[in-house]
Copies of this chain bind each other. A is one copy, B any other.
Amino acid sequence: MTNQKEEVVEEVEEVELEKLEEQEETTTQEEMIEEVVEVDELTLVQQELEEEKNKSIRLRADFENYKRRVQLDKEADYKYRAQTVLTDILPVLDNFERALAIQTNSEEAASLAKGVEMVYRSLLDAVAKEGLETIESEGVPFDPNFHQAVMQEKDESKESGIVLQELQKGYKLKDRILRPSMVKVNE
């Protein structure tokens, strides 16, 4: 631009031309500045739009993940919803077993015991419907995930590590152990 300005001649047309050129120059410069400003604004807005879109995508992904987690939590909560009350009922089941283990001699007591056993069965049915199960122990290999060894004995006629006797019933709620069974294990 400076070079062009130095080429100024004295002739009117030349001057005219020169003026026109100068005018053009100025306009072009202004235009460029304007363009730069506009392009800058456009770029900025486009960048902001891009960021906003990315934020939306992340937010939507977070939302979906949250929904999935909530669903899984809900299923677990539902599956084990009776865990607290069933855990509290385990001693009741123990008490039932103890009461029913007592030998009855009189007919009256035997009749009452029969009634009590029916009540016990109805309770077992109610808790079984909710997913409470006894843990298998006598005659199966000792498994620390299900059994708690409180005694050991040596029985040559049986395999080593086999549960010889169940001392207290163990219970699980579906696949979750509520209480391991207390057992006597073969050495």
- List the interface of chain A (C-beta within 8 A of B): 12, 16, 19-20, 23-24, 27, 31, 34-35, 38-39, 41-42, 45-46, 48-49, 52-53, 55-56, 59-60, 62-63, 66-67, 70, 73-74, 77-78, 81-82, 84-86, 88-89, 91-92, 95-96, 98-99, 102, 104-106, 108-109, 112-113, 115-116, 118-119, 122-123, 125-127, 129-130
Contacts of A92 in B (CB 8 A): 119, 122-123, 126
Closest CB-CB distance, A72 to chain B, in whole Å? 12
Query: Copies per complex?
Result: 2
Q: Which of B39, B53, B84, B108 contacts A108 (CB 8 A)?
A: B108
Contacts of A56 in B (CB 8 A): 52, 55-56, 59
Q: Report the bound CA distance from A116 to B129 in whole Å.
A: 23
Contacts of A60 in B (CB 8 A): 59
Q: Report the bound CA distance from A116 to B96 in whole Å.
A: 8
The answer to whether B95 and A119 touch across the interface, beta carbons within 8 angstroms, is yes
A-B contact pairs, 23 of them (CB 8 A): A19-B20, A31-B34, A42-B45, A52-B52, A52-B53, A55-B56, A56-B56, A56-B59, A59-B60, A62-B63, A81-B82, A82-B82, A82-B85, A84-B129, A85-B85, A85-B86, A85-B129, A89-B123, A89-B126, A91-B122, A99-B112, A99-B119, A123-B123
